[in-house]
Structures are given as structure tokens and as C-alpha cells.
Amino acid sequence: MKINPLDDRVVIEILEAEEKTAGGILLPDTAKEKPQLGRVVAVGPGKLLDDGTRAKPLVAKGDVVYFAKYSGTEVRVGDVEYSIMHESDVLAKKS
């Protein structure tokens, strides 16, 4: 199954939460924070502007990005968890 986002939406494959703290302590599943890091797997054509043109998306397929903690709609396809969100909910690209 392929997901094709519309307008300024992006589909992000959510990367796993950290299993250890910086000090090396293993975290149980109940203590893990919701992940805020993911890989872009699909990008919509861009936001439709008032003049009828589309704004070019700032992220591309394959980018690893940070996104707002409770943004997007989570969907599961097979064993993979995705989040579909507006491009404006993406906070930064990981370099």
C-alpha cells in the first residue's frame, strides 16, 4: 500500500524512541517519550497559494526530520508506523 499525501502534507516514518538515557540506563516501554524524529517517505505537491500556484516543499523524500510532539495523524501500515502531518509541523532537518 502506498500513501500519497495531498497539498502541503508529508508522510513520515516514525523512528524508534531511545531505549537508553545518555548515562546508559535502559528505559522500560512505559518510560519512553513519544518519538519526535522520523524519515520523510512521501511529500505532497505543496501548499496552494492565493494566486493558484503551489509553494515548493522544503523537505524531500529521505530527509530525517524533527517534528512537533503531538502533531499529525498516526497510521499503521503493516508493521510500520507513519505520521501524516502538515509540512509546517516539521521543525527541523537533521544534518
In the chain, at which residue ranges do the beta strands (DSSP E only) sit?
9-14, 37-43, 64-67, 73-77, 80-86, 90-93
Amino acid in position 50:
D
Using alpha carbons, select from 68, 9, 13 the residue that is nearest to residue 43. 9
15-68 pLDDT tens trace:
875 565 566 666 665 555 566 899 999 999 999 999 999 999 999 999 999 998
pTM: 0.78
Q: What are the structural domains, with CATH classification, of the chain?
A: 9-18+25-93 (2.30.33.40)
